[in-house]
Structures are given as C-alpha cells and as structure tokens.
Structure 1
C-alpha cells in the first residue's frame, strides 16, 4: 500500500482549495489506485475520537459534504450535526465518476442485464465488491484510524446509485463494519440476483443473531417513474428489511420531492450528516440505558 502526501498543482497558484482538507493517493494491496479526500474537524476530538463518514464517489460529493458539515457542525446544538472526519473514496480522475467504480461497486461479473450501455459502448469490468470492501476494512480504515483519532463505534458509509448498491452489499456481507449505512438510489436492478441472494442470507442471519446497525435508503420522487424501476426496488427492500428492528436493524426511508436520480444527490448528502449523528446518539443512549 502506498500513502503519499498532499497533492499540489504547481501550475496554478490560484486553484481553489477547501480549508482543512487534504488529498492522498493509495495503491491497494491488489494494485488498484484510489484518490482519497479527507476533511478533519477544526475542533479538538472527543475523548473517544472523531466520528467518521466514508463517502463513495468522493470525486463527485466531497466538496458538497465538507461544506455542509462545516456550516452545520458549527452549531451542533441547533442542527444536530457534530464535527466528524469526512473521507471521500475516489479515483485518480478529474471527472466526477470513474469507470473503475463499476468493478468496485458490483458484486458479480457479467450480471448487468444489458449487453452494452445505453450509448452502445461496453460496460466496464465488474464484480469486485468483495475486494473493495476488504480494501476499506483492512487498508483504508486502519490508516485513517492511525492518522486521526477516530471512534470505531461511530462510523458511517454513504453511497449513491452503484455506490448505493455497494452500501447494501456491505451491510449484508459485514454488518458490523459500520454503525450507519446510507444507500441512495441503489442500483439493485443491475445486480438484482446477487444482491437479493446476499439479502436473503443476511435476513437468515438476523433470525439467529442480533446486530446494531441503521440503514437509510433514499430516492428521488421522480425515480418512481424511472425505466429501471429503481424506486420500486428500493421500496420493496425497505419493506422486507423493516421487519427486523427487533433484531437490531433500524431501517428508514426518505423520498425527496421533485428530485431525480442525479439531482437527489445533494439533498441526500446533506441528510446523511444529520442521520448519521442521530444514529450515533441513539447508540450511545442505548448503551447508557
């Protein structure tokens, strides 16, 4: 694994930067390269360490979530948002999304139902979700914990679209990896067979043991009419998983009015901050009870 220092653009002295953030390059043990965006609170950490929220597709959402956190965490007593470390997991590209995400966020190779993308080009390689989750758990999270004082009991994972699919996979495959899971507009239709198999195994596990996890699934209102049926898939999964609150899984659903698959991302990112803090507070209260 390679962990390099902060990247600088020597050609442009006027480039805009976000205060309190840095960027790192990591090459995983399986030789996959990631661009990691990190924001650290400008306040002293709690005795137990900072909470941490990991955001997939860091290239597209990091700036949005950092500014939302900076503004809201300034008055946590009013907003309910406490300072937390933000980690955006991205790729070495200037684009908001990298084709590499198809491999990292999908469960099985070749399961996407269409032979080619809507524009006629071939789909990128797929099926690396297990490897990607291992990278987060065994390489990235330990590095973040060694670099910053963080609280392992207050960790959240956020993903949208294919990233939302991966969030569901992570919950089903390793529910103790995070306290809070936020799946926005999950692309269940692209890996329907695999993710439903994982869900069934997860629900069977819940029949035998309890966990401690919160799941938020969010969609845009306009996704109810999307040709992929993405909204209906999400609602059906919420319905099935909501039956396991007595086994320690708390499920919430939110639908943002007049938002579509892409436009839902900013309000969902904003909501993820307060939702994560709510789940962490509830966990603390449960331990105190």
Structure 2
C-alpha cells in the first residue's frame, strides 16, 4: 500500500503533470476600448446544451476577476437541472481587468459618473481616490464593442440580457437602469454604493419613474445587500432598502422588483450568496 501511495505521489509531482485548473467551456480574450486607452479581460462561458430557438440568455458580469468563476459554476450546476432549479442555461460574459487581483483600481473610473468625484467619501487611508467619471465611456464599450462581439460568436436572446454589478458596480447598474432602461431586461445591483453619487442618482431615479415611454413590464430589478452592512457609516444598507421601497410603487406598472438582505453577510462575503440568488432571478424558467 505504501508503494502505491509513493507511486501516485511521484506521478502527481511530475512537473509535466502540473497544469492550471480550467473551467469547462470557457474562453478569455483581451478587448480594448475604441480609443485604445483601456484594456479589459473578457471571460466567456458557454453552456453545454444547445441554444433554444430564441438563443441563450446572457449575463454581463462586472468585476469579473472576483466573481466570474462563482457565477459560471452556479449557472452550470443549476442550469444543468432546470426542471429542479428553475434556472435555464445561459452564456456568462465577465468583464474584468488585466490583473490577478479580485478588484482593479480602474473600476473607480469605469463605474462612476463625472460628478461622482464631488460626492466620493473620504478614503480610509487619506489618499486620493483613483481617477473617476468614465461610466458613459464604459457603457459605450459594453454596447458597441462587447455585445456585438458576443452576438457574433454565440446565439444570444437579446430579449433576455442581464447586467450584474456589486458595490460601485451596483451603482453603475442603477445608473444604466435609470438612464437607458432598454439595454437590459434584468438588473442586479448588489450592495450598491449609492452614497458615492447620491444626488445625481436620485435625480436620475425620479426621471426614470416619471417616464411614460418605458415598458416596466419587461424590466426586472434585484437590489441586494448583506445584513452586516447596516453598521457601515456610509448608510449603504438604508440607501439600498429605501431605494427598493420607493421603486416598489412601480409594481403596478409591471416592474419585477426584489429586495434581499442576506443574513450574517457583509459587503464582500455577500457575493457567493448574491450570485446564486441573482442567477435564479435572471434565469428563471
């Protein structure tokens, strides 16, 4: 028995046997903004199942360095048994950065509007925040570069598109919903940093709720946050809950709204639970 164990260990320790762990049916490429100044890691996961006649639903995932693997595994496992889970297979498109870190400083620019600089809270270490104000350019990159590429390579149902963001990414998701609600059908705003740009976001929200040209029956919004975020001095928990309460008035106009507070979870630990719930919200049969 010891001889067998030693032989197995020798095989596993051979340098030629050491390979990176691969996620099935995934690819990664580098894509640049149109001005060539910003580069992104685009990670794509394709279901094993053939696309339905209408095409695959698609989830566009911000901060992909931190959550692409979690979302891919969640959808792959749950989408493999839709009759049990209610989750259908989908293409996952992660938009990340050229770093091995879970989060990149470039997100401060990509996820914030220009006016956000005046409302950003003081940084804990007293240093200046990275450059901000590029949300419009980042959204144009998604719409004009990423989406067309994905739709050329995969059979996509353009009537079932989701955008997922957390923290500043959640703020970005809300900005897109309030200003261009027709770009996606499901919006997932996890722990949104509303305090970062609260005045302008509230104005955008008021304009959104007053619009008569929006088919709210085709829009779903999930606002989620960790229970432990109640103690954060930014008021992030109350901001998210109050936003959901205000938007609940749109239910009569068809808006599919869900607010979820995850018990025992904080700003970062909430992510795995949020991903699972978001998959069910976006991909329910």
Give the TM-score of the pair, scaled to structure 2: 0.90
Q: Which runs of 5+ in 1 are unaligned?
A: 1-10, 282-289
Structure 1 residue matching 2:182: 3-state secondary structure: coil
Q: Cα offset for 1:226?
A: 1.2
Q: Cα offset for 1:19?
A: 1.1
The answer for the alignment partner of 2:11 in structure 1 is none
Match of 1:138 among 141, 144, 148: 144
Q: Cα offset for 1:247?
A: 2.6
Is 53-62 or 244-253 further displaced after alignment? 244-253
Kindly indicate whether residue 143 of structure 2 is the aligned counterpart of residue 127 of structure 1. no
Structure 2 residue matching 1:215: 3-state secondary structure: strand
- Once the two structures are superposed, residues 219-278 of structure 1 have per-residue CA deviations (whole angstroms, 9 ceiling, x without a partner) of 111111211110000011111111112333221101110101111011001111111123
Partners of 1:151 and 1:210 in 2: how far apart? Answer: 18
The answer for the alignment partner of 1:38 in structure 2 is 44
Where in structure 2 are the equivalents of 1:91-240 lying within 5 Å?
Answer: 91-109=97-115, 110-114=117-121, 116-206=122-212, 209-211=214-216, 212-240=218-246
The answer for the alignment partner of 2:64 in structure 1 is 58
Partners of 1:12 and 1:171 in 2: how far apart? Answer: 48
Partners of 2:35 and 2:194 in 1: how far apart? Answer: 26
Partners of 1:119 and 1:34 in 2: how far apart? Answer: 28
The answer for the alignment partner of 2:31 in structure 1 is 26
CA pair 12-145 structure 1, distance change in 2 beyond 3 A: farther
Q: Which of 1 and 2 has greater Rg? A: 2
Give the TM-score of the pair, scaled to structure 1: 0.89
- Please give the root-mean-square deviation of Cα atoms over the aligned residues, in Å: 1.6
CA pair 66-210 structure 1, distance change in 2 beyond 3 A: closer
Larger % of helix: which?
2
Q: Cα offset for 1:119?
A: 1.6
Q: Which runs of 5+ in 2 are unaligned?
A: 1-15
The answer for the alignment partner of 1:75 in structure 2 is 81
Structure 2 residue matching 1:176: 3-state secondary structure: helix
The answer for the alignment partner of 2:9 in structure 1 is none
Structure 2 residue matching 1:46: 3-state secondary structure: coil
Structure 1 residue matching 2:21: 3-state secondary structure: coil
Query: Retained in 1: the 8 A contact 2:181–2:214?
Result: no
- Once the two structures are superposed, residues 52-107 of structure 1 have per-residue CA deviations (whole angstroms, 9 ceiling, x without a partner) of 01110000000111111111111110011111000111011111001110011011
Match of 1:276 among 278, 282, 285: 282
Q: Which runs of 4+ in 1 moved over 6 A?
A: none
Query: Retained in 2: the 8 A contact 1:108–1:191?
Result: no
CA pair 209-17 structure 1, distance change in 2 beyond 3 A: closer
The answer for the alignment partner of 1:6 in structure 2 is none
Structure 2 residue matching 1:194: 3-state secondary structure: helix
